[in-house]
Amino acid sequence: MRLIKGCDVLVHMCHQLSGTQPGPEWARGAAGHLEVAHTARDAGVRSLVLTHIPEQMDVPGIREKVIREVGEVFKGNVFWGEDLMEIPVKDPKPIKHKG
């Protein structure tokens, strides 16, 4: 969580609907849509890009359900990741070095 705390954009794998993982081993290595939303919210990121979305989730009705439910948890920008997508970010602030 420390690596993503307060970042502008979090690109996160969203490989299944929450609660549909085939077992605990799978859940340790992949996140459902609500787990991704909680991670983004808890880290305080500005924008969340859902990626690695399987075909069965990328259909009308399911897609909108996922975006709505993610938006109920995470209040930042939510993007449905697509190949070659460009995500706008603010200009980074210069790093101030001590000394």
Read off the pLDDT of residues 22-33 as tens digits, 9 standing for 90 and up: 777 766 677 889
Read off the pLDDT of residues 2-13 as tens digits, 9 standing for 90 and up: 889 999 999 999
Asked whether the beta carbons of 30 and 13 are under 8 A apart, the reply is yes
Asked whether the beta carbons of 54 and 23 are under 8 A apart, the reply is no
55-70 CB burial, b ≥16 within 10 A, e <16: eebeeeeeeeebeeeb
Residue 17 pLDDT: 86
CA atoms of 47 and 88, how far apart (whole Å): 9
